[in-house]
Amino acid sequence: MRQIIVVALVFIMGVTVFLITRAYPTGNPWAALAVGLLVNLISTPVYIGLVGFLFNLHQVPLWLKTQLMHRNKNVRLSIAYLFRIRVRDKYLLVRNRKGDYYQLVGGAYKTLPGVEHVFARYKVKPDNRFETDHGIAKNDLRFRVPGRYVLAMLRWFDSRESREISQWREFCEELLTTDILPKHPFRYIDYKFACKVQTPMQEAKQLHCQEILVYEIFDLVPNDEQRQLLEDLLAKGDSSEVKWADETLIQSLGFDQRTKHEEYRIGPHTKWALNGQWSND
């Protein structure tokens, strides 16, 4: 498709140059009209392309890395969602199931049937970094893809095609099936989208590949009954599975500047979620 557009623009430019150099000097009004129309045909897509380029200027470094520097190398993508659950001045954190640290409630999105043709088109390979009790985690949106297809896969995610679009599953798995919160009052929840945080493409920690992490952040909107139950959970205090951390503790990733003591480790993506942006922690 791009090749056809380029050929068409080259042809139009050629005809325009011919009319300007041959026909236009004669004063022929039809030639002048043709030149004006052809100039508009050329300038309009150029203008649209320039506006699009400026609008996406922040993506130029990613484009250079994916289309030039790491075009044929596998890049790891991990796409997840997180809940900001705040009671008074503290946020609810849970133990990460794969690491010795705490984080906001949430986890990786999952794919749905029909994604196979998308993965085949873009040569997607499953990620083997995380294992569950049943082996490699399946259907998680953690995968490796050749660099040249990274931008296409990010656009595919935004299209919401053949992938999980609800954030209920992780909320249920981490808070209800574990009996941290009672099931019946939280069988329905309201929440609103807050922001999306995407890391730069960079060397993955403990992995020999480039990596991009994407998090969609949501704020829980509890009703009166749910708010009281969350207040009750806060009153119980911290446990091995649940922590309540204020913003100061989260910003220092678990090191309490007030006591000069590390209370517990907090995953850096929890800090990114609060700030609404990535930082090099």
Alpha carbon distances (Å) from 98 to 192, 238, 267:
27, 20, 12
Give the three-class secondary structure for 244.
Answer: strand
**Confidence at residue 31, expressed as pLDDT on a 0 to 100 scale:** 61
Burial class (CB in 10 A: 0-12, 13-18, 19+), 43: exposed
Query: What residues pair up with 210 in beta bridges, in sequence order?
Result: 75, 203
- Residues 6 or more apart whose Cβ sits within 8 Å of residue 178: 241
CA count, 13 A, side-chain hemisphere, 207: 17
pLDDT digits (tens, 9 = 90+) for 229-241: 999 999 999 999 9
Helix (H) or strand (E) holding 10: helix 2-18
**Confidence at residue 60, expressed as pLDDT on a 0 to 100 scale:** 82
**Confidence at residue 206, expressed as pLDDT on a 0 to 100 scale:** 77
- Does residue 175 contact residue 93 with C-beta atoms inside 8 Å? no
Q: Taking every pair of C-alpha atoms in the chain, what is the biggest distance, in angstroms?
A: 90
Q: Rounded to whole angstroms, how far apart are CA atoms 212 and 196? A: 13
Q: Tally Cβ neighbours within 10 Å of residue 164.
A: 18
pTM across the whole model: 0.80
**Confidence at residue 281, expressed as pLDDT on a 0 to 100 scale:** 78
Whose CA is closest to 266, among 249, 242, 278, 241? Answer: 249
Q: Tally Cβ neighbours within 10 Å of residue 281.
A: 12
- Residues 6 or more apart whose Cβ sits within 8 Å of residue 167: 81, 83, 106, 191, 216, 218
**Confidence at residue 135, expressed as pLDDT on a 0 to 100 scale:** 44
Q: Rounded to whole angstroms, how far apart are CA atoms 276 and 274? A: 6
**Confidence at residue 90, expressed as pLDDT on a 0 to 100 scale:** 97
**Confidence at residue 152, expressed as pLDDT on a 0 to 100 scale:** 95
Residue 265 tokens, joined: 């480790």
Burial class (CB in 10 A: 0-12, 13-18, 19+), 20: middle
What is the full per-residue pLDDT of the chain (281 aa) written as tens digits?
455 555 555 666 665 555 556 555 555 666 656 666 666 666 666 555 554 454 455 678 888 899 889 999 999 999 999 999 999 999 999 999 877 899 999 999 999 999 999 999 999 998 866 555 444 457 899 999 999 999 999 999 999 999 999 999 999 999 999 999 999 999 999 999 999 999 999 998 878 899 999 999 999 999 999 999 999 999 999 999 999 999 999 999 999 888 889 999 999 999 999 999 999 97
Angle subtended by helix axes 29-55 and 2-18, to nearest 10? 140
